[in-house]
Amino acid sequence: MKRTLLFYIFTSIFITSFSQKPFDDPNDNEYLMTKTVNLKNAQQSVSGSPYFAEDFQRGIIFKKNIAIKKNVNLRYNASKDLFEIEFNQNQSKVLKQTEDIYVIINNKQFVYVPYSQNPDVNGYFEVLSDGKTISLYKKYNKKIREGKKSINSITSDIPPTYISKETLLLVNNDEFTELPKSKKGKIKSFANHHKELKNYIKDNSLNIKKESHLIKLITYYNTL
């Protein structure tokens, strides 16, 4: 999981001013699946978007901590839990889903956790903090909430809608612990050092319901 150094090196340099063809390298099969996504088949009847960000954004693809593709247009389909790579106006390609491959897009790092690693937790996660003892991941999820037909002529139909959900998880030796909403619950989620954590929160006026403050707490925990 130790990709932090590479993350900071490449996030500062990956956007360049020149354009580049998305697929001009014979080694593209290193990171591309054979399946494609037809962009014209998007579900127009569903309100909202299945994507983390609707537009493609420039990013870097890494394989085994080596940048194998730079300046590639990516976007995360949170509904299908896959990364699309822009191919042309009608189609996008799909990134291979393997723990060896991860991406940096818009200063965010996403890694893939396979089923074999944890039967209850899998798919893509944003790495918020990568520490020697514990790390903090975020899971994005979008599901379709069913619509409702109007029961009379006064009200309107409610279309099906994409509903977003975000989940924070502590990661320790590939064990994932979902963090509860409450401050007390979050502290209990740490394996030990509860007293030290409480004192650190108090001394530094942290509100660990905020991600930035929670990251500070995790950084401190990794020093204990």
Write out pLDDT tens, residues 168-192.
999 998 899 999 999 999 999 999 9
**What is the arithmetic mean of pLDDT over 116-123?**
84
> Is 73 found in the same domain as 19?
yes
- pTM score: 0.83
Kindly tell me if the per-residue pLDDT of 127 is higher than 80.
yes
* Domain membership of residue 190 as a residue range: 182-224
Torsion of CA 126, 46, 89, 164, to 10 degrees: -10
Amino acid 134: pLDDT? 96
Nearest to 2 by CA among 131, 173, 125: 131
Q: What are phi and psi of 97, to 5 degrees?
A: -100, 95
Residue type, position 142, single letter? K
> Is 216 found in the same domain as 139?
no
> Is 49 found in the same domain as 79?
yes
Question: Token pair for residue 65?
Answer: 């901590």
Q: Three-state SS string across 116-178, please?
A: CCCCCCCEEEEEEECCCCCEEEEEEEEEEECCECCCCCCCCCECCEEEEEEEEEEEECCEEEE
> Is 51 found in the same domain as 155?
yes
Kindly tell me if the per-residue pLDDT of 41 is higher than 70.
no
Gap between the Cα atoms of 140 and 124, Å rounded: 8
Residue type, position 200, single letter? Y
> Is 186 found in the same domain as 167?
no
Gap between the Cα atoms of 201 and 196, Å rounded: 9
> Is 205 found in the same domain as 103?
no
Question: Token pair for residue 186?
Answer: 């979050």
> Is 44 found in the same domain as 16?
yes
Number of domains in the chain: 2
> Is 99 found in the same domain as 208?
no
> Is 148 found in the same domain as 86?
yes
pLDDT, tens digit, for every residue of 54-112?
A: 999 999 999 999 999 999 999 999 999 999 999 887 888 999 999 999 999 999 999 99
User: Does residue 207 or residue 32 have the better pLDDT?
Assistant: 207
> Is 88 found in the same domain as 137?
yes
Token pair 């999820």: residue: 141
User: Counting every residue, how long is the chain?
Assistant: 224
